[in-house]
Amino acid sequence: MPRTKQFNEEEVLKKAMELFWEKGFHATSIQDLVSHLGINRASLYDTFGGKDILFDKAFAHYRKGATDWLNGIFESAETVKGGFQKLFDSAIKESVEDECRRGCFVVNTTTELVPGDKDLLKVLSENKSNLESLFLLQIQKGIDSGEFASSMDAKGVASMIFTFYNGLRVVAKVDPNPIELKKMVEAALSVLH
């Protein structure tokens, strides 16, 4: 009779995501995973196929959660610019409160594993495209409603906001000074008029 799993895969995946996010892929050993997840090596390999596959699944879990979170921010905002303001305010708040200075898991993974991992580069390019498309959709909504000038280069601004957001997450790891970060955001969002 096959043995039944004594753990919740979703919870284990979330714990793995947290560990990879904090330590990075290379600094996380199989023993770290076994200890942190509270499962044995055999279960880790049987369920997740090893460190690489577990990382890929944990990274996908993070990206899905981040996309859902972003959509929620824009859906709850009264204006498009207000949505972007909420996005950056949340990033600043998270950075200031994050004593470990983990930053953004996607940004961390990009700086750690690219250009060496071609499969991951494809995933990161897709992630970039998805987020820029989300930002573009919001900016176009602002243009259509008259909130933003019709002459705005929506695609260029969406790319700039994506780049700025990622840069802000890196800078906030080095110096999570909320006053300085808010000044940067104010300057970046001045393009939305």
Considering the domain architecture, whether residues 48 and 86 belong to the same structural domain is answered as no
CA 143 from chain center: how many Å? 26
Nearest to 94 by CA among 24, 16, 169, 21: 169
Q: For residues 32 and 22, is the Cβ–Cβ distance under 8 A?
A: no
pLDDT for res 36: 95
Instruction: Tell me the per-residue pLDDT of 58-95, one tens digit each, with 9 for 90 and over.
Output: 999 999 999 999 999 999 999 999 999 999 999 999 99
Considering the domain architecture, whether residues 81 and 148 belong to the same structural domain is answered as yes
Q: Confidence band (pLDDT; 50, 70, 90) for 4?
A: low
Please name the residue ranges forming H helices in the chain.
9-23, 30-37, 41-48, 51-76, 80-97, 105-113, 118-145, 154-174, 178-189
pLDDT for res 1: 44
Q: For residues 187 and 94, is the Cβ–Cβ distance under 8 A?
A: no
Number of neighbours of residue 138 by Cβ within 10 angstroms: 24
Considering the domain architecture, whether residues 52 and 91 belong to the same structural domain is answered as no
Q: Is residue 27, in this structure, part of any structural domain at all? A: yes
Considering the domain architecture, whether residues 154 and 82 belong to the same structural domain is answered as yes
Q: Confidence band (pLDDT; 50, 70, 90) for 117?
A: confident
Indicate the number of domains in the chain: 2
Residue 165: which CATH number?
1.10.357.10
Q: Confidence band (pLDDT; 50, 70, 90) for 115?
A: confident
Considering the domain architecture, whether residues 42 and 116 belong to the same structural domain is answered as no
Number of neighbours of residue 4 by Cβ within 10 angstroms: 5
For the chain, report the end-to-end CA distance as a whole number of angstroms. 66
d(CA 110, CA 160): 18
pLDDT for res 8: 87
3 state SS of 183: helix
3 state SS of 149: coil
pLDDT for res 44: 92
Range of the domain at 42: 7-59
DSSP secondary-structure letter at 7? S
Average per-residue pLDDT for the chain: 94
Instruction: Tell me the per-residue pLDDT of 17-46, one tens digit each, with 9 for 90 and over.
Output: 999 999 999 999 999 999 999 998 999 999
pLDDT for res 3: 52
